[in-house]
Amino acid sequence: MLRTEDASKAVDLVRDALRFFRAGEPIVHRGPLVHADVPVLYLDFAIDRVHYDPRTGAPSPKGNPVHVRIEGDLRPDEIIESVEKALKEARVIDACEFRGPEDCWVVPVAWKSFIIMHVRVSADGSELIPDYGLTEEVRRHGV
Amino acid sequence: MARSSSRIMALPRRLGDTAFERARGFVRREWFLTILLLLYLVLALLNPSMVRNTPHLVDWRSLSLITALIMTSKGLELSGIFSRLAPGIVERAGGSEKRLMLYILPIIALSSAVIMNDTAMLVFIPLVVATAEVAGINVARAVTLSAIAANVGSALTPIGNPQNVVIWRRYGVSFWAFIVHMLPFFIAWVSLLLLFAMSIKERTIKVRTIPPVAVNLRLLVTSVLLLVMNVLLAETGFHWLALPVTVLVLLTVGREALWGFDWALLLTFAFIFVDFNELALLMGHARLQFPSSGVRLMLTSAGVSQVISNVPATVLLTSNSRPDWLPLTVGVNIGGTGLIIGSIANLIAVRIARIRLRDFHRYSIPYFLAALVMSALILLLFQ
């Protein structure tokens, strides 16, 4: 049975971890249209990806990767700087949802009025659960 | 803004952009491999028969063992067991910067002896950076001392870094004999590093706790068993079995470690063997020789490592001759500190932490010089 106390613990855990989150090397998906995601790292694991909007130079809401035509190339340093800044301004939403198949809480993190990422926490609210797939992707990109 | 209009910018994209940008991205990301590829082209121009001999220039046995060990290390890393140490280290430090470094440096050194120094950097540098940034301590100093800890810690065992794997396999030194011979140097180097850490002024840091990450038990157990198996296979002369068995087991129960493997690193090691074995051949033709024993060999191998990195230095020095393994091992391991090019672990640390080279060298070069003198004295004492 799920308890509100565990959900609160999960939210508090993400709140404690938030200041340690860092922006990783952007993963730029190229093609006729380009879109860039920035993995958010906690220690050596990726937690979730933040969509980057090259037109505004700021994060895009979760669920809205921005596909654009661009001339030249996106500058990774600028993207990292922008997402680092957003992470400093980000806050943890005071409630979470539960994902049965994964047996974990999902805690939303907001920047301004956008939810930009989700952080998974174990059912008892005691451990952060990395996004293993994204961590592999980050490693494949070399660090 | 309408969804459709938000998806396209007015600026046109040139057809050539993608290929050019990808090539530029590759060079930026894999600049060490790019240099090796360029060196290969230069050497092929000097000696066209090299192209035909390329497969013979690769030390396939060492390469397969290094690959198996890196995959196993990757499994241990992705299991989260080393990240799990982070909350304990931070809590024990009790808000003291000096104590934090005095706890974390030996842990990095000992971990590197088991999971390879490059992997140790992937695990610990993010922890060091995150803690240092939040606590407001000197990130460059913390990262540099951590990179040194990984380099000197990995020197202890034959599986700590790729150059040790090459020496272990080529000389047939037993696993335990290797450790026993390297132990005095390991103790001296770590003690010197702790002396550097002791010089940090005592000050309170704000970080007292850090949330834990879940441990993937399946991957942890699989990786530990694979690590033990790989060492046993290498010790008993069945090192050729290490890679196929590791790949098969990971494909079955630990695919994360395979998918997260940096395949460009494998290519990098292959070209290190090709380029530097060829270079050693050319040097042999020119009758150029390196010292074969004692302090001179140690100083030479450390010096060459400072210029071309320590794995290439090991290949270069052992390709045509068989110098004494201990001074060679000491030299190429201490040669991993000092200039950033000394070891790939340094490059990984600086890249993750995004610190300036000048800041890195401010701490790494004095350490290298002091450790070099110390190593020469220990070698003289033991001879």
This complex has an ipTM of 0.85
Token output for B42? 């230069």
Alpha-carbon separation of residue A20 from A40, B210, B212 (angstroms):
10, 8, 12
Residue B368 has pLDDT above 90, yes or no: yes
Sort out which chain A residues have CB atoms less than 8 A from B134's CB and list them.
Answer: 19-20
Q: Quote the mean pLDDT of chain B.
A: 88
How many beta-carbon pairs below 8 A join chains A and B?
A: 121
Residue B6 has pLDDT above 50, yes or no: no
Residue A72: its pLDDT value, please?
A: 67
pLDDT band at B20 (very low <50, low <70, confident <90, very high): confident
CA distance B121 to chain A (A): 9
Pairing of strands A114-122, A128-129: antiparallel
Closest residue in B to A24 (Cα) is B352
Alpha-carbon span B130 to B381, nearest angstrom = 42
Residue B4: its pLDDT value, please?
A: 40
Cβ-Cβ contacts under 8 Å for A6 (sequence gap 6 or more): A105, A123, A124, A125
Contact, B67 vs B61, CB < 8 A?
Answer: no
pLDDT band at B95 (very low <50, low <70, confident <90, very high): confident
Q: Where are the domains of chain B?
A: 50-382
Residue B1: its pLDDT value, please?
A: 40
Mutate to test the interface with A, among B21, B133, B220 (most CBs of A within 10 A): B21
User: Given an 8 Å threshold on Cβ–Cβ distance, is B211 in contact with A13?
Assistant: yes
Q: Which residue has the higher pLDDT, B245 or A43?
A: B245
Sort out which chain B residues have CB atoms less than 8 A from A41's CB and list them.
Answer: 126
Taking only the tens place, the pLDDT of each residue in B248-300 is 999 999 888 888 777 888 899 999 999 999 999 888 888 888 898 899 999 99
| Reported pTM | 0.83
Pairing of strands A97-99, A114-122: unpaired
Is B208's Cβ below 8 Å from some Cβ in A?
A: no
CA distance A98 to chain B (A): 17
CA-based nearest residue to B126, from A143, A26, A87: A143
Taking only the tens place, the pLDDT of each residue in A7-66 is 999 999 999 999 999 999 898 887 778 889 999 999 889 999 999 998 899 999 999 998
Residue B383: its pLDDT value, please?
A: 67
Contact, B274 vs B54, CB < 8 A?
Answer: yes
Residue A143 has pLDDT above 60, yes or no: no
Which helix (H) or strand (E) is A76 found in, with range?
A: helix A76-89
SS3 string, chain B, reads CCCCHHHCCCCCCCCCHHHHHHHHHHHHHCHHHHHHHHHHHHHHHHCCHHHHHHHHHCCHHHHHHHHHHHHHHHHHHHHCCCCCHHHHHHHHHCCEHHHHHHHHHHHHHHHHHHHCHHHHHHHHHHHHHHHHHHHCCCHHHHHHHHHHHHHHHHCCCCCCCHHHHHHHHHHCCCHHHHHHHHHHHHHHHHHHHHHHHHCCCCCECCCCCCCCECCCHHHHHHHHHHHHHHHHHHHCCCHHHHHHHHHHHHHHHCHHHHHCCCHHHHHHHHHHHHHHHHHHHHHHHCCCCCCCCHHHHHHHHHHHHHHHCHHHHHHHHHHCCCCCHHHHHHHHHHCCCCCHHHCHHHHHHHHHHCCCHHHHHHHHHHHHHHHHHHHHHHHHHHC
Alpha-carbon span A54 to A117, nearest angstrom = 18
